[in-house]
Amino acid sequence: MLAASSLSLCALAAHKPSLTEVVGYVFPRDEALQPGQVDGSRMTRINYAFANIKDGRMVTGYAKDAENFAALTALRKQNPSLKILVSVGGWLWSTSFSDVSLTPASRRVFIASAMEFLTRYDLDGLDIDWEYPGMPGAGHPFRPEDKQNFTALLKELRAHFDHETKRTHRRLYLTIAAGASKEYLGNTEMNKVQKYVDSVNLMTYDYVNPGSDPATGHNSPLYTNPSAPVQESSNDSVLAFQKAGVRASKLYLGLPFYGRVWSEVADRDHGLFQPGKPAQNSWASYQVVTQTMLDAGKPGSGFVRYWDAKASAPWLYNAEKHLFVTYDDSESITAKCNYALAHRLGGVMFWEYASDPSGTLLGAVDKALHGETRAEKAQ
């Protein structure tokens, strides 16, 4: 697999798609977005997270949503090709999806509210983030028939979107955030779903979690290291979704702008694939990783960066404090973008913008996909 992938990467100079999409999730919660806070020039789509569902209807999730929608749609002035979508659901707010999709009548109510929502806030489409059909997710209600009802919901949404596009001559996008697991594939009809969506945003991260996995590992490995306790990776997920019937052009590879932290990890193999426990703060944004763990101007932090060539993934280890950190950096992000190009994927998506306010990782995406950064082009 590695040899074949390396060969494919060598062919990039001869074939580099010009329309590789970059989708960024923006999740401000109750905060108002400030002028200049989001750079819309390096993304083709922004998915605003999250709208909620109440009484079967799509509603705003946070107090500042209307203000933030206005701020994001204004970014079209600097990038006319930028599309602003709203993502509904998410890990905590997928509670109502099973009920909403259950009957033709319940689907009609939800779809009508979604159409009204998009019109009211001048949005370009909808991202369905149902976590997860046929599974409890964060303890949500679920049913065996979610499998077929998920397809029905997307099919009917697409019909309404196509009708509206014919009326207004403005394309509406329909996308989904998809769990990158065999369980997700087993509870969905991806060969049918992919007909109705513009993209399947693969959540190729959270393969290991200090809260549920007893041993350390990579949050988002590009490839599967044969020695890893969890034998899953981004490459495995892409291949599994393609086998399930999803065209490569509709698959968007997920990039995490955050990492995970284990404590009480013994100093063997620099902490990689070793038993550990969740650190007190086991989730860390890329900003936190770079400012508090890497040796950027802070000698004595105790963290050393290592690289797993088999997985194309970095990690940090602090031998004194027995802390292990899995995260993504510019090198691993670049490798994933090159993978997306080599395998003719539709693009990449990342979660989420505020985790890297410096723009370092988005800059790595831009350079990998387009050959140079916006700053370099301006010089």
331 is known as an active-site residue: no
Q: 3-state secondary structure string, the chain?
A: CHHHHHHHHHHHHCCCCCCCEEEEEECCCCCCCCCCCCCHHHCCEEEEEEEEEECCEEECCCCCHHHHHHHHHHHHHCCCCCEEEEEEEECCCCCCHHHHCCCHHHHHHHHHHHHHHHHHCCCCEEEEEECCCCCCCCCCCCCCCHHHHHHHHHHHHHHHHHHHHHHHCCCCEEEEEEECCHHHHHCCCHHHHHHHCCEEEEECCCCCCCCCCCECCCCCCCCCCCCCCCCCCHHHHHHHHHHCCCCHHHEEEEEECEEEEEECCCCCHHHCCCECEEEEEEEEEHHHHHHHCCCCCCCCCCEEEEEECCCCEEEEEECCCCEEEECCCHHHHHHHHHHHHHCCCCEEEEECHHHCCCCHHHHHHHHHHHCCCHHHHHC
Residue 50: asked if its preceding bond is cis (omega within 30°), the reply is yes
Catalytic choice (31, 116, 131, 331): 131
Tokens of 231: 């034998």
**How many other C-beta atoms lie within 10 A of the C-beta of residue 18?**
6
CA-to-CA distance for 309 and 306, rounded, in angstroms? Answer: 10
**How many other C-beta atoms lie within 10 A of the C-beta of residue 50?**
24
CA-to-CA distance for 288 and 279, rounded, in angstroms? Answer: 14
Catalytically active residues, by annotation:
131
